[in-house]
Homo-oligomer: A and B are copies of this chain.
């Protein structure tokens, strides 16, 4: 009965607090936490909250209802790595940093990539820009997409390009926005087997020196 709980209870408690605050815009009460985690005793919840506090994940305002505060602000979308067209970089599996580009974009599994190089420069996407990616497999002609080439096994290299389905040639064209670079032309069969659209660009964010 206790072996199937892969996750540590304090981790689940912390996750619940984070999610609750995201949806309810206020911290949960100790009893609400207990109800969620099937903890029968409020003292027990308090015990684990004390542990979380000791670990520095939360702080508490004594005696105040819902007096839990998160120490780390967990907002923004994960920056999953960088991407280039010249030499495609790999998408890392765990986020390196968080980009706070507004709650508006914090949907589903939206993530960000740092653009390297000038391959999309004529679309005014510069080296160092963050592109916000909305994961989806389908896309329309002209969309700027993250196209993944499935080469060996599961791991693939990704590239940022404009997508065009050329029906007359029965192929797909991945077009960089840089006249010095050539498009990637892929036959329909090869496309279906070896390529996958990972998502499309929904926003661009550029920091300037403060």
Contacts and interface: CB of A to CB of B under 8 A. Distances in A.
Interface of A: 21, 25-27, 29, 65-66, 69-70, 73, 75-76, 99-104, 121, 124-126, 134, 144, 200-208, 210
Contacts of A75: 102-103
B29 A21 contact: no
Q: Which of A201, A203, A208 has most B Cβ within 10 Å?
A: A208
Contacts of A25: 21, 26-27, 69-70
Contacts of A103: 73, 75, 100
A26 B29 contact: no
B29 A65 contact: yes
B210 A134 contact: yes
Nearest to A134: B210
A85 to B, nearest CB: 16
Nearest to A65: B65
Contacts of A69: 25
A25 to B, nearest CB: 6
A114 to B, nearest CB: 15
Nearest to A105: B100
A204 B202 contact: no
Closest 4 CB pairs of A and B: A100-B102, A124-B124, A204-B206, A65-B65
A205 B208 contact: no
A57 to B, nearest CB: 15
A205 B101 contact: yes
Nearest to A69: B25
